[in-house]
């Protein structure tokens, strides 16, 4: 393990220690939220994930000269949105998955109705958290727009719809595949960077550099995800592998081959690192993150 | 038909003519939103409903001295949230309904996965619409908080969870039933009034009077809904009637009897009218609305 990846691992562990208690605190809801609903939301939100998206929010905020803590509401909100999307994607009517992060999926642990409502609850609550807690107000409103656009019908939800349709209308072009992934995962990752930059008070130039960095990182992340589905280890991944091929899903290695996919991810990460290098020393974590995405094994 | 209910009907028809084209316009999404997703969202959003909640937003805004048009984004957003909740509530894992507003429910017309995504899309997009279009910015942020809180785990989603649980853990107390309905429908209706008041620049006293008006209206609405399930006509309602009894659901007439339920609704509406009477002439539509809820036959 290189020293920079060790540094990043420790940064991510540090950030997780900051974010996890805040997520817990936000889930201390009044008795108006039925126990079963809160349990179900908590089960998936605090499932021991890497908390990569909220970490990105805090890292971007810091890279723009802001203080980490100021972006915590936005950071927690994006994890709620990400978690809701996993819960709904796993449903029988969607991907029908039984296993997620090494544990039963939400609807297997609870039931389908509860899982649908837990997802709805997390999605809605994400916007409550930003509107109630994110300061300053102007940044809060911008963060809501970023997150809603990234997660909405022209973003993540649209990408998931396109992905489901692609199972019947086979994808043969790289461009189509890229369009799905940009919506399904890219825009949300990008919004993490943008929200952090907004709270950190970034100027327009920095905001747009971090935006493009987010796009590159998101696509590279998807490519390595596809590669891990082929080469990964079920125990490390905490979910079933080699599912894509079984389901006839279009993937980067499927369309491009394994080596060219690796090269493509490599180029994207190269570009991502270039984009943030003007930030100087403050870009360190962002550059490390880029390398991490490329070299991750889970 | 009394003259005031004629006035209200024409007010609601006028408002529908204002709101419906705006809802359509908001659904003109870019090609990033797959056609099937947009079609499914449109199918339910423009299903010919009364648009009561958005009308309430505009009426409240006007009653507080604002101009109707200024509250259109918030008005459209609440209809999106209401529609999403209907789509998800109708799903097989939830209420398993085939008919809604006289047409096949969303998952019957499309499929389950599409219906889940259409609901997710409408919910997310509601927050995008407010954050992008509602002015002034300060009011936009407050509206988002109102809507998210009303629709979230301590509001509508919590109420739906409690309602599902009540099917197995039988409700015998009026208080429990009221707690479910306050969350399931009351808070969202209340948020319509509050959002309109906020955009209309209401002072704290007026805001809290409209809030309580909203609560009363919401509960009365639920009671008349329960009554219509017993006495209503399937053709007029556009959905199956006498379902509650078949499903063993707790209802006001079930717990209180038909006449006492009518009296309870009557008292709530009385109180609602008193609350808004200090607004003088501007309260006219709100008073008419209260009478309408009491006397509706569909």
pLDDT value at residue B103? 96
Classify burial at B233, counting beta carbons within 10 Å of its beta carbon; exposed 0-12, middle 13-18, buried 19 or more: exposed
Does A41 contact B152 at a Cβ distance shorter than 8 Å? no
Q: Could you give the CA distance from residue A49 to residue A102 in angstroms, rounded to a whole number?
A: 10
Say if CB A83 and CB A44 are below 8 A apart.
yes
Percent of chain B with pLDDT over 70: 92
- Local confidence pLDDT in tens for the 298 residues of chain A: 455 667 888 889 999 999 999 999 999 999 999 999 999 999 999 998 889 999 999 999 999 999 999 999 999 999 999 999 999 999 999 999 999 989 999 999 999 999 999 999 999 999 999 999 999 999 999 999 999 999 999 999 999 999 999 888 788 888 999 999 999 989 999 999 999 999 999 999 999 999 999 999 999 999 998 999 888 665 565 556 566 666 677 889 999 999 999 999 999 999 999 999 999 998 999 999 998 888 887 7
Residue of chain A whose alpha carbon sits nearest to that of B30 = A154
- Inter-chain contact B113–A123, Cβ cutoff 8 Å? no
Closest residue in B to A88 (Cα) is B116
- Selecting from A32, A91, A113 the residue whose C-beta is nearest the C-beta of B183 gives A32
Across the interface, do B154 and A112 touch by the CB < 8 Å criterion? no
Work out the minimum CA distance from A296 to partner chain B, whole angstroms.
30
Q: Is the pLDDT of residue B237 over 60?
A: no
Direct distance between the N- and C-terminal alpha carbons of chain A, in angstroms, rounded to an integer:
15
pTM of the model: 0.94
Q: Which residues pair with A103 in a beta bridge?
A: A100
| pLDDT reported for residue B93 | 97
Taking CB atoms and an 8 Å cutoff, what residues of chain B touch A151? 124
Kindly report the number of other CB atoms within 10 A of residue A246's CB atom: 10
Please name the residue of chain B whose CA is at the shortest distance from the CA of residue A127. Answer: B148
Give per-residue pLDDT as tens, A18-40: 999 999 999 999 999 999 999 99
The pLDDT value given to residue A162: 95
Q: Single out the residue of B190, B199, B236 nearest to residue B74, CA to CA.
A: B199
Cα(B157)–Cα(B187) distance, integer angstroms: 11
The three state secondary structure string of A238-260 is CCCCCHHHHCCCCCHHHHHCHHH
Look at the domain B3-295 and name its fold: Farnesyl Diphosphate Synthase (1.10.600)
Cβ contacts of A130 on chain B, cutoff 8 Å: 144
Q: For residue A179, which residues of chain B lie inside 8 Å, CB to CB? A: 32
How near does any CA of chain B get to the CA of A77, in Å? 12
Check if the interface score ipTM surpasses 0.85: yes
**Cβ B120–A123 below 8 Å, yes or no?**
yes
- The closest alpha carbon to B288, from B268, B273, B266, B267, belongs to B273
Average pLDDT over residues B69-83: 98
Interchain pair A162, B34: CB under 8 A: yes
φ, ψ at B103 (rounded to 5°): -130, 165
DSSP-H helix ranges across chain A: 3-26, 35-45, 52-63, 72-90, 106-109, 112-133, 137-151, 156-166, 174-181, 187-199, 204-231, 234-237, 243-246, 252-256, 258-276, 284-295
Q: Which of A223-227, B6-10, B168-172 has the highest mean pLDDT?
A: A223-227
- Asked if B116 and A88 come within 8 Å (Cβ–Cβ), the reply is yes
Q: Which residues contact A4 (CB under 8 A, 6 or more apart)?
A: A287, A288, A291
H-run or E-run covering A100: strand A99-100
- How far apart are alpha carbons B216 and B207 in whole angstroms? 14
CA A12 to chain B, closest CA, distance in angstroms equals 29
Q: How many CB atoms lie within 10 A of CB A273?
A: 20
Most B CBs within 10 Å: which of A29, A32, A165, as the mutation test of the B interface?
A32
Q: What is the mean pLDDT of residues B4-22?
A: 88
Give the mean model confidence (pLDDT) for residues B170-180: 89
pLDDT score recorded for residue A172: 85
Of chain B, the end-to-end C-alpha distance in Å amounts to: 15
- Alpha-carbon distances, residue B240 vs A73, A111, B103 (angstroms): 43, 26, 11
Mean per-residue pLDDT over chain B, rounded? 92
Residues of B with Cβ-Cβ distance to A41 under 8 angstroms: 153
């Amino acid at each position: 393990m290189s020293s920079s990846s060790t540094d990043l691992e420790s940064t991510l562990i540090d950030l997780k220690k900051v974010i996890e208690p805040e997520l817990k605190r936000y889930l201390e809801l009044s008795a108006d939220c039925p126990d079963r609903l809160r349990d179900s939301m908590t089960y998936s939100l605090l499932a021991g994930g890497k908390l990569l998206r909220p970490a990105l929010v805090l890292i971007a905020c810091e890279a723009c000269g802001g203080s980490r803590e100021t972006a915590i509401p936005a950071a927690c909100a994006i994890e709620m949105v990400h978690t809701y999307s996993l819960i709904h994607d796993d449903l029988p009517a969607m991907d029908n998955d039984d296993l997620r992060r090494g544990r039963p999926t939400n609807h297997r642990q609870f039931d389908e109705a509860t899982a649908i409502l837990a997802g709805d609850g997390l999605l809605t609550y994400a916007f409550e958290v930003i509107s109630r807690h994110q300061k300053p107000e102007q940044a809060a409103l911008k963060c809501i727009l970023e997150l809603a656009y990234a997660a909405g019908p022209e973003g993540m939800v649209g990408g998931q719809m396109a992905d489901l349709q692609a199972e019947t209308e086979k994808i043969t072009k790289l461009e189509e595949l890229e369009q799905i992934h940009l919506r399904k995962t890219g825009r949300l990752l990008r919004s993490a960077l943008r929200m952090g930059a907004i709270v950190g008070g970034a100027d327009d130039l920095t905001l747009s550099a971090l935006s493009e960095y987010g796009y590159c990182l998101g696509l590279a992340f998807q490519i390595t995800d596809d590669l891990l589905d082929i080469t990964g280890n079920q125990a490390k991944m905490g979910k079933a592998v080699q599912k894509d091929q079984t389901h006839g899903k279009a993937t980067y290695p499927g369309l491009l081959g394994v080596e060219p996919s690796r090269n493509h991810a490599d180029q994207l990460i190269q570009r991502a690192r270039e984009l943030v290098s003007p930030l100087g020393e403050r870009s360190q974590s962002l550059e490390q993150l880029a390398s991490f995405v490329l070299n991750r094994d889970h």
